[in-house]
Amino acid sequence: MKSVSETPVRVRFAPSPTGYPHLGNIRTALFNWLFARHHGGKFILRIEDTDRARKVEGTEEAILDSLRWLGLDWDEGPYFQSQRLAIYRDITRGLLEKGHVYLCYCPPQRLETMRREQAERREPPKYDRQCRHLTEQERAQLESTGANPVVRFRTPVEGETTFNDLIHGAVTFKHDTLDDFILLKSDGYPTYHLANVVDDHLMAVSHVLRADEWLSSVPRHVLLYGALNWTPPQFAHLPIILGPDRARLSKRHGATAITEYQKQGYLPSAMVNFLALLGWSLDDRTELLSIDDLIKHFSLQRVGKTAAIFNRDKLDWMNGVYLRQLTLDEFVQQAIPFLDRDLPESVERPLDRGFVGSVLSLVQERARTLGEVPELTRFFFEGELQYDPRLLLAGKLEAPEAAEAVAAGMARLLQIQMWDAETLEGTLRPLATELGISTGKLFGLLRVALTGRTAAPPLFQTMMVLGKEKCMQRLERAAQLLSAFSGLEA
RNA sequence: GCCCCCAUCGUCUAGAGGCCUAGGACAUCAGCCUUUCAAGCUGAAGAUCAGGGGUUCGAAUCCCCUUGGGGGCACCA
């Protein structure tokens, strides 16, 4: 399982705090983490906070929370690029001395105009290199105006750059399709290209696993590595994850922040399993894999090239599978915060753990997310039920007939000593025969009376958990509702 | 507009020239089980492997073109 390569495996997850991490971001983190763990290497966390304007408050914490939630622990970091400005500046100075970069004084307005004109002429938008050939005099002149220059890379005009991507194979870009990109902004902060290359090198990153959208900036990075006389890491560009509309994942897709899934009651284990299968597969049949399985089997060779659409239905199914695999104790543990949060306010807190356990044992195999649990179990906790009385006749019984059945049931139930599922069934099943209605109809009627709905856990177990008192109250209430019906019809 | 990437059931995917009359999973439909709902089991439907040319005795698999989709081309990452 261990890699035999000379250099130790060191990978990083390098998000920017400009938005809340979504499925795609986290899938990238997961693949990096799995790769590191599989090879016994290091997983480094680096926050790329070099854009002061776009920084969004709270996103750094969200990134850490998301990783922690899924158990993607990091071995180093988080490093913050905003704290490493001196490093980028020093390196830029060295590049300047060697003539690999130059100072550019073009004001943003000029660049904008230039790009607009290029668009009109249907030319690719590229910096026209005006400052690349400045004479000493011109430079001094511009310098004296007090303008803060940016630093641009002197991209070779001719030739091409080819690199080998671990997933895509050889990829070639001609240099004349590139322009002189900016390394250092006028505010002294580095751009992604500079900071990324410098840090990956300084942090001895061996493999860069990141989303496909970066593929086209690799030639710039390779050129930079060359200018710095550094050996580039290995690159692997992962397929991106698309929304249901085939567009890139974005805010428009609703629950995009990964923490939303946590709030909706998905388990980290299910999330990890699901995410791992978005772009990676073990074979032609395995769907369910534990974290250990994933670490054991993960390999870049089995990462696909095609963008994947995130399929919520399958996530729901998988989460249900993981929910059912929990012991009852674990399920209770996981579900309680959701009950606390979403059960009606009228339900008294704190919830009785023993009672919650009995309730949850009846819905564990019925829930696909923990978020559904409160709604699934609400009637166990509530006092008087609110429901449409017509549901009582959903079994196609006439109102008088139904009223009679409920009354007979109550009379019978009053007499029994034990209140367990077996006794209840033994009491009520014969009653159906005596009343001359099918068990289905009788049980359906009682189900509505006791739960307020037509779909609920098995009747006798439900009654047992509900307890005799509550059951009798609800039957009484149903009887009243039914008599009101009969009155109407009369 | 230019550059790059990608292309197997609705969706996630298996497939690295003959094992493919293209396999699995989710979703869908039907049956079984059954007091309802789930779960479970069984089965069905669903892909002319984007289209067209090659290469080869043989192509989903290799090459080319077309089409489609995606990404990039910022003092954003």
pLDDT reading at A221 higher than 80: yes
Residues whose CB falls within 8 Å of the CB of residue A127, separated by 6 or more in sequence, listed in order:
A104, A106, A111, A114, A152, A179, A180, A181
Q: How far is CA A485 from the centre of its chain?
A: 50
Q: Is the CB of A375 under 7 A from strand B?
A: no
* Å from the A299 CA to the B46 C1': 31
Query: Which pair of structure tokens corresponds to residue A12?
Result: 């990083």
Residues whose CB falls within 8 Å of the CB of residue A266, separated by 6 or more in sequence, listed in order:
A315, A319, A369, A370
A353-361 and A328-342 helices, crossing angle to 10°: 110
**Average pLDDT over every residue of A369-398:** 94
Q: Which nucleotide is closest to the Cα of A306 by its C1'? A: B6
Residues A278-296 have pLDDT tens digits of: 999 999 999 999 999 999 9
Q: Is the CB of A460 under 7 A from strand B?
A: yes
Q: Known catalytic residue: A251?
A: yes
* Å from the A7 CA to the B61 C1': 34
Say which of A98, A174, A251, A314 is annotated catalytic: A251
Determine how β-strand A234-238 pairs with β-strand A207-211: parallel
A248: pLDDT confidence band, cut at 50, 70 and 90?
A: confident
A490: pLDDT confidence band, cut at 50, 70 and 90?
A: very low
User: Would you say the pTM of this structure is higher than 0.90?
Assistant: yes
* Å from the A439 CA to the B32 C1': 20
Closest amino acid to nucleotide B25 (CA–C1'): A287
C-alpha distance across the termini of chain A, in Å = 80
**Average pLDDT over every residue of A331-337:** 98
Q: Quick count: other Cβ atoms within 10 Å of Cβ A418? A: 12
Residues A141-185 have pLDDT tens digits of: 999 988 899 999 999 999 999 999 999 999 999 999 999 999 999
* Å from the A102 CA to the B32 C1': 77
Collapsing DSSP states into helix, strand and coil, what is residue A42? strand
Q: Which chain B positions come under 7 Å from a protein C-beta?
A: 1-8, 10-16, 23-27, 35-40, 69-77
Closest amino acid to nucleotide B70 (CA–C1'): A307
Name the residues in A227-246 having a C-beta closer than 7 Å to nucleic acid strand B.
239-240, 242, 246
Name the residues in A279-298 having a C-beta closer than 7 Å to nucleic acid strand B.
279, 281, 283-285, 287
**H/E run at residue A210:** strand A207-211
Q: Which nucleotide is closest to the Cα of A18 by its C1'? A: B77
Burial-class residue A413 by CB neighbours within 10 Å (0-12, 13-18, 19+). buried
Q: Quick count: other Cβ atoms within 10 Å of Cβ A151? A: 24
DSSP codes, A395-459: TS--HHHHHHHHHHHHHHHHH-S--SHHHHHHHHHHHHHHHTS-HHHHHHHHHHHHHSSSS-S-H
Q: What is the mean pLDDT of chain A?
A: 94
pLDDT reading at A247 higher than 80: no
Distance CA A364, CA A348 (A): 22
Q: Bigger pLDDT: A380 or A3? A: A380
Residues A413-459 have pLDDT tens digits of: 999 999 999 999 999 999 999 999 999 999 999 999 999 999 999 99
A4: pLDDT confidence band, cut at 50, 70 and 90?
A: very low
Q: Is the CB of A433 under 7 A from strand B?
A: no
Where do the DSSP E strands lie in A81-130? 101-104
* Å from the A177 CA to the B20 C1': 43
pLDDT reading at A396 higher than 90: no
pLDDT value for A255 = 53
Q: Is the CB of A322 under 7 A from strand B?
A: no
The answer to whether the bond into A78 is cis (omega within 30° of 0) is yes
Query: Which pair of structure tokens corresponds to residue A5?
Result: 């390569």
Residues of chain A by 3-state class (helix, strand, coil), percent to 5 = 55, 10, 35
Distance CA A272, CA A263 (A): 16
Q: Say if CB A154 and CB A102 are below 8 A apart.
A: yes
Residues A451-471 have pLDDT tens digits of: 999 999 999 999 999 999 999
Name the residues in A108-137 having a C-beta closer than 7 Å to nucleic acid strand B.
108, 111, 115, 122-127
Q: Say if CB A276 and CB A294 are below 8 A apart.
A: yes
